Structure 1
Amino acid sequence: MPKPHDHLHRHHLLLLLFLLIIATNSASASATTTNYQRFKEAPQFYNSPACSSLDTNEMCSHQAVHVAMTLDAAYLRGSMAAILSVLQHSSCPQNIRFHFIPSATANHHHLRLTISRSFPSLKFQIYPYDSSKVSGLISTSIRSALDCPLNYARNYLANLLPPCLSRVVYLDSDLVLVDDIAKLAATPLGDRSVLAAPEYCNANFTSYFTPTFWSNPTLSLTFAGRKACYFNTGVMVIDLQRWRQGDYTTKIIEWMELQKRMRIYELGSLPPFLLVFAGNIAPVDHRWNQHGLGGDNYRGLCRNLHPGPVSLLHWSGKGKPWVRLDANRPCPLDALWAPYDLLQTPFALES
């Protein structure tokens, strides 16, 4: 016959087991919510003697090179590599100002801390992007990654960045530079162009829009009088003053609103840019966009470099170098991205 204290003992054991389960689940949840990538500190880069001194309002200085990038947890590793590549190949790295745009719901404290730890001397600002206005205008495209609301932040750059900024270089997160970004920033825009980007007039431009678009008598005249070519929006030099004066954000949004009523394109955030700007942009030398290194939008197969000089390597397409490297299935050109990878691996030894 069991003794009375045996029941008490079993109750204590059950209670301890219950508390242990709760503690384990809590620890697991805590680990999940704080399981951030850790990055190494980058080397410090200094200006060459020929670099000019910036004026006092540094984040608005017209002498600085201003770089805008989005920040996203899924692409943060790519962003960190891109930042390092910009600084490493610049003659005046201390004269570069970064303007980062994360989602309004992102952990901004963590992003700021991550960047500051890897780049202690970097001059940067963070501008939260409220994607609620654009979320209802996003149409599904051929690849889910293209439907991320943060991809549409470039539509709102002129509103997000300080009014004092007149020119900015916009860069995607899946690229590295191997040349001085000041050369790219100095791309001439002429008297009227709002932006400069790499153009590809050999691409089949009509394929970026649906038969519904081309069969509509009014819509099909959109590009009349314009030598419209495909251009890549992952590398752009933008005159923000001209953008604001022309209210180009509204023009882009109007096309997105039409897309919700009748499907006129398939490829994410690019077509509205083409509709507004194609044929009216300044060209960027193709050396500043060795693009497509991520393969196509479906399989992300390996690709070779295009003929000609290289100043910027761009892994546009489905395949990203850090994903392929982690999977031990890299493409040959991913080896060119690897030296800029600042990810702190668990077993890395301090040098």
Structure 2
Amino acid sequence: MSSKLHRLCLFLAVTGTVIFPATSSSSSGNLPEFREAPAFRNGRECPKTTWSSSVDKNSHNPSIIHIAMTLDTTYLRGSIAGVFSVLQHASCPENIVFHFIATQRRTELRRVITTTFPYLSFHLYHFDVNVVKGKISYSIRRALDQPLNYARIYLADLLPTGVRRIIYFDSDLIVVDDVAKLWNINLGKHVLGAPEYCHANFTNYFTPRFWSNSVFATTLFKGRKPCYFNTGVMVIDLGKWREGRYTEKLEQWMRIQKRYRIYELGSLPPFLLVFAGNVEGVEHRWNQHGLGGDNLEGLCRDLHPGPVSLLHWSGKGKPWLRLDSRKPCPLDSLWAPYDLFRHSSLFSDS
């Protein structure tokens, strides 16, 4: 085990919770049951503030942090762990508002959130799958083709206009730092901020048909240096997004994809086509991604070099599934302390 991993394990061990694997409920039956999270309260230094979806469209309160996540039966256990991790490490947890997006079973999902996090400020929105019906092209992994995977494209339409900035988080990550540090980054003139990875081979994210088309390959990225970024962690200026009509720009590439088949990775490539080379770079510590392995086999991976503020199990392998199968990867032990899944008698808080 690397020294960095060892230090992280020791750090997370102070939670005092030992989790043993058990099989959660199926997506077609009852939703999983979760233990109630402790109440996380603001310190004296935190400004007292409230937020309502009915606020004036021009108002903006920088003391309130808005986070968007999707909720569905398949990834619910990951979403709950992600929320728990954010609250546990936040300096002002009561100033965080979560915006959850779901396509179905909203009443049940609302009950799960309310009973697991009784003190949480949150709103639950319905995402109409008909919005993307006919626009989604099949990819190399079925999970990437689900309509909810495309909800991040429509955040500016789903959320109230009073929400001017949002952090978008995938449902397979945990935060081990104060999320306010990510919230307060300066986007400058950019619409979107995310960790960039300019060493990645950008050509791999598109098909030969894309690169053989001179209009796509030559004209599109003229004047900008495109770098890969992972769309599971993004800070978005929704005001600039709405003004620039970026949802329409992303949808246009989805229509082109249906006709020309220029990529194979779900909702990621449209973001690269629209934003790559025009992103405010964020420290890599805020997305230690790829911990779920690749999209086909999901083999174990180690941490990237450098400090860690967020661990992201992007890829095929998910920590809760590997823990349940009793075949976990070493890094899955870092996710386990945030798993609130009710394991009946198979857990101990001692």
Q: Which runs of 5+ in 1 are unaligned?
A: 1-30
User: Structure 1 residue 349: deviation in Å?
Assistant: 6.4
Matched, 1:158 2:156: yes
Asked if 1:263 corresponds to 2:264, the answer is: no
Deviation at 1:107, TM superposition (A): 0.9
Distance verdict in 2 for CA 1:330–1:59, change over 3 Å = farther
Asked whether the equivalents of residues 53 and 162 of structure 2 are also in contact (C-alpha less than 8 Å), the reply is no
Residues of 1 paired with 2:209 and 2:247: CA distance? 24
Residue 9 of structure 2 is matched in structure 1 by none
Distance 1:58 1:261 in 2: 39
Q: How does 1:81-230 map to 2 (within 5 A)?
A: 81-103=81-103, 106-190=104-188, 192-220=189-217, 221-230=219-228
Tell me how far 1:151 sits from its aligned partner: 0.5
Q: Which residue type is aligned with residue 49 of structure 2?
A: L
Deviates more, 1:38-47 or 1:133-142: 133-142
Deviates most, 277-286 or 56-65: 56-65
The secondary structure found in structure 2 opposite 1:74 is coil
Percent identity, aligned pairs only, is: 61
Summarize the Cα distance change of 1:255–1:32 in structure 2 as closer, same or farther, 3 Å threshold.
Answer: closer
Letter in 2 for 1:252: L
- Extract unaligned runs of 5+ from structure 2: 1-25
Shift of 1:68: 0.3
Q: Which has the higher helix share?
A: 1
Distance change (3 Å), C-alpha of 1:59 and 1:299: farther
* Stretch of structure 1 that moved more, 61-70 or 237-246: 61-70
Q: TM-score, normalised by structure 1?
A: 0.88
The whole-number CA distance in structure 2 between the counterparts of 1:301 and 1:210 is: 24
Instruction: Sort the Cα spacing of 1:41 and 1:195 in 2 relative to 1 into closer, same or farther, 3 A.
Output: same
- State how far apart, in whole Å, the 1-side matches of 2:346 and 2:206 are: 48
Question: Which residue in 2 is equivalent to 1:40?
Answer: 35
- Residues 177 and 312 in structure 1, CA contact (< 8 A), matched pair in contact too: yes
Task: Tell me the secondary structure at the aligned position of residue 332 of structure 1.
Answer: coil
- The C-alpha deviation readout for 1:158-213, integer Å capped at 9, x for no partner, is 000001110010000000000000000111101x2001011100000011111111
Partner of 2:167: helix, strand, or coil? strand
Secondary structure, aligned partner of 2:46: coil
Structure 2 counterpart of 1:74, which letter?
A: T
Query: TM-score when scaled to structure 2?
Result: 0.88
Displacement of 1:124 after TM fit? 0.3
Write out per-residue CA displacement over residues 48-104 of structure 1, whole angstroms, 9 at most, x where no aligned residue.
11101115647856220000001111000000000000000001000000000001x
Does structure 1 retain, via aligned residues, the 8 Å contact 2:141–2:296?
A: yes
- Is the 2:292–2:314 contact (alpha carbons within 8 Å) kept by the matching residues of 1? yes
CA contact (8 A) 1:70 1:172 kept: yes
Alpha-carbon offset, residue 35 of structure 1: 2.2
Offset from partner CA, 1:290-330 (integer Å, 9 cap, x none): 11110111110100001110000000010000000000000
Are 2:27 and 2:73, in contact at CA under 8 Å, matched by a contact in 1? no
User: What secondary structure, in the 3-state scheme, does the structure 2 residue paired with 1:36 have?
Assistant: coil
Match of 1:245 among 243, 256, 274: 243
Note the aligned Cα RMSD (angstroms).
1.6
